[in-house]
Structure 1
Amino acid sequence: MQGSSSISSSSVDAPTPRCHCGVTSPIRTAWRSNYPGRRFYGCSGYGTSRKCSFFQWYDPEPPAHYSDVIRRLLETNECIRSENTELKKTRQELLDELRHLQQSVHETRAELEVAIAASMDMEDNMVASVATTRRRGVVIIVLISVIVLLVFFFRSKSLADPFFFLSSRLENIINSINLFSLICSVDLIALALCF
């Protein structure tokens, strides 16, 4: 039997012939001969060291176009298997790429959350710094205004006058009220400028 290979064997109800070795020959199926799919009896030791060449067809002779039909079916089957293998390979590549992208998204999301938290901390620090700067500015402006008013007040009075501190009470009260209202005006202007 040239060009045939056996890929299956089975038992039959009819008496099974014996090969030249004296062993019962199982039914096999030819796939690479001119009769693909046609069953035959062949020695169970075929392909081993026994070198038995027993061969007998089990199936009757098929019609002429039979081998062409079987060959085309086998080719179609092989194409489908090849496409299936390619599809499995493509599917695996896509799954690997999806896993990689999911990992990348996860890492990017984590980096983004860290950046957002850092940005919020910076914003909070900046707001606190601005508030502190405004408070310091108000304090500085108030202190400067008090110093200016005190300098102005004391320059307008003669320090050489020994009775300066003993001048009339009414004049001291009026000067104190004027000084207080002037300081309040400057402070209000300073607050308005800071906010």
Structure 2
Amino acid sequence: MASQSSRASRFRLDAKELLCGHGERPILRTSSTKDNPGRRFWGCVYYKVQDGCDFFRWADPEPGGGHQEVEFARNRRKITKLKARLKELETKLWVVAALCIAG
């Protein structure tokens, strides 16, 4: 499990330093293939625009690791809670702004 964890962090760290064959930073994309639906990967910024660069690297660890699935589910729940909290705070901000304008 420790190797999976360090592998996942290696992908995050490497992403900042990646360069494609054109010397450009790659773009984070989402796969829509039948074999890897929804899986994220780094690809050349010029993919399907210019030839000569097939830069490709998975951004996430291999699917199927039980620990990773649990961690992803936990993070999804956290994100959902944070989005709800953000919406609540935005509503409060609009109320305060309206009161300031009216007041």
More helix by share: 1
Higher-Rg member (1/2): 1
TM-score, with structure 2 as normaliser:
0.45
More strand by share: 2
TM-score, with structure 1 as normaliser:
0.25
RCO higher in structure (CA 8 A, sep ≥6): 2
